[in-house]
Amino acid sequence: MKELDFSLATTTEIMKELSRRAKQKRRQDMQYYGDQKKFAKHIGMTYRRYQQFEINGKITIEKFIDVLRGLDALDEIQGLLQSTDEDLFKQESAIKTTKTFDTSKNEQDSKKIDKDEYTKYVPDLFR
């Protein structure tokens, strides 16, 4: 099955894809994770609520974290929202290279960009 491109998908499509992947992971090692009923009990969720999650993907973020924890998958997503200093530096550098100064004499006053404008995009840790 072709993987869903999250950048082009709707919220509903992403939710369903996440539930499909969780279901697939649970089923791959059924002996360890158990069927829906046993897995739901293991993560502290009702059987019906977990069953609905696997069908339509609708779940609270708290319960989704419980599902990930139950599937031993929290470490796989830990870096998802974590920015590194290197990432922030790359963003800052990209912004600097896209801005230029207009030094033409007839438009010098109207289009001149203040040098301080460059630094407003730089995170505090780079100042």
pLDDT along the chain (127 residues), means of 10: 83 93 94 95 96 95 95 83 67 60 50 50 47
| Burial (CB count within 10 angstroms: exposed 0-12, middle 13-18, buried 19+), residue 113 | exposed
- Please report the pLDDT score of residue 21 as a whole number: 93
What letter does residue 122 receive in the DSSP assignment? S
- Please report the pLDDT score of residue 119 as a whole number: 46
- Please report the pLDDT score of residue 110 as a whole number: 47
- Please report the pLDDT score of residue 126 as a whole number: 44
- Please report the pLDDT score of residue 60 as a whole number: 95
Tell me the two tokens of residue 4: 């869903």
- Please report the pLDDT score of residue 115 as a whole number: 52
- Please report the pLDDT score of residue 3 as a whole number: 79
Report, at the CATH architecture level, how domain 11-77 is classified.
Answer: Orthogonal Bundle (1.10)
Which amino acid would we find at residue 85?
D
Residue ranges covered by each domain of the chain: 11-77, 85-126
